[in-house]
Amino acid sequence: MWIVTTCRPRVWEFLFRFSEIDVGAGSYKEEGVLFVYSITTTRTMSRPVISLFTLDSERSKDCTKQPATSPNFHASDADIVVRWSDNILFHVHRKNLETHAAGFPSSEFDAKGEIVPLTEDASTLENLLRYMYPQRIPDIELLAFDHLYDLAEAADKYEVFHVMNMCKMRMEDFVPNHPAKIMNFAFRHDYRELMLMTVPFRLDLPLEKVVKALLPEMVIPWVRALQ
């Protein structure tokens, strides 16, 4: 069962068609309509909470002219508006970014009322922003690996240190199933212990397959380690 907090046209169709969707946030487009959704849950909640926002078909035909606004980050007193790669607007507060994210330099957001474009998708950044506000945060143990990986990359990029540590610890549970991707991540971000955890799960694979999955700068150290 779902708890519907923001009901818009076709919300029930969304629930039936996407009943297996992961906890998080994002958007999808169908028949000219742009849907923006947010699904949250915690250990203390018996049912997930879903918020759904839609644009009418005429506006969503050209998303570059009429971007959607996040249903969870649209405060009227926000002093920064950022647009993620999938054209979703987030109205956020500078003080929250400066307090929780060392990688959000003030100069980058001195846009004088203009929208600040960022490269991440709405799902990833909405999850990240939830950790910067006094609200219910996503249970990181419920995130699928791909969502966790994207969140970890964003947390490292913007230096949200407490989220970085949470993601790194959670990634340890995914090492058996995603050793190459986690090894590359650990190498880029200098997580030596996490990188070493992935080694046993790559030793039984053909060298050609391992080399193909590794970052170019990791190939020589890997080959030397096997000698």
Q: What is the mean pLDDT of residues 80-91?
A: 80
Q: Give the CATH superfamily of 3-174.
A: Potassium Channel Kv1.1; Chain A (3.30.710.10)
Instruction: Tell me how far apart the alpha carbons of residues 54 and 141 are, in angstroms, rounded to a whole number.
Output: 29
To the question of pTM greater than 0.85 for the whole model, the response is no
pLDDT surpassing 60 at residue 142: yes
pLDDT tens per residue, range 149-189: 999 999 999 899 999 999 999 999 999 999 888 988 998 89
pLDDT tens per residue, range 18-67: 444 555 666 666 555 566 666 655 454 444 545 555 544 444 444 445 67
- Evaluate whether 22 touches 143 at the Cβ level (below 8 Å): yes
Q: What is the domain partition of the chain in residue ranges?
A: 3-174
Residues 163-192 as b/e (b if ≥16 CB within 10 A, e otherwise) read bbebbbebbeebbeebbbbbbbbbbebebe
The residue whose two tokens read 């909405």 is: 126
